[in-house]
Amino acid sequence: MEKYKKLLEIAKNSLKYSYSPYSNFSVGAALLLKNGDIITGVNVENASYGLGICAERVAVVKAISEGNKEFEAIAIVSGKIKNCFPCGSCLQFMSEFSQDLDIILEGENNEPIVKKIKEFLPYMFSGKMLNFEP
């Protein structure tokens, strides 16, 4: 549980980089790779709202672009609320790379809440449905 507390703290520290001038809803994420490395991400908004990207997807894209595809956990925090759940798009996006991912949320007393991605997205769409398994 200590490593997940650390992951939450790293996600909180990344909040200062969030670009969220329209919603004022900053989100930070810290992605723990199976090799022990941690990749952060923040939400980045755009005046054309649909072009924004969530913190979780930023972290995953950074990891993939650096050659990392094995994820253990992701911590997600918001500057506004506790227990900041990932959106459906992020859940589907993350499930592409790990269908057993631990999602770490910040509880009311700053203790980690640990859930499996399958708890949020039990019927995830996968390459198996396309008769293709990368």
What the block records as the tokens of 113 is 């809440």
Q: At 69, list the tokens.
A: 């595809």
39 closest CA partner among 121, 115, 125, 97 = 97
Q: With a threshold of 0.85, does the pTM exceed it?
A: yes
Whichever domain contains 34, its CATH number is: 3.40.140.10
User: Cα-flanking dihedrals φ and ψ of residue 33, to 5°?
Assistant: -85, 160
What positions carry a catalytic annotation?
56
Domain count, the chain: 1
- Domain hosting 106: range is 2-130
Instruction: Say which DSSP state 48 is in.
Output: S
Instruction: Report DSSP letters for 69-118, one per residue.
Output: --EEEEEEEESS-SS-PPPHHHHHHHHTT-TT-EEEEE-TTS-EEEEEHH
61 and 42 in contact (C-beta within 8 Å)?
Answer: no
pLDDT tens-place values along the chain, 134 residues long: 899 999 999 999 999 999 999 999 999 999 999 999 999 999 999 999 999 999 999 999 999 999 999 999 999 999 999 999 999 999 999 999 998 999 999 998 889 999 999 999 998 888 777 876 55
Give 71's strand partners: 33
Angle subtended by helix axes 88-95 and 55-65, to nearest 10:
20
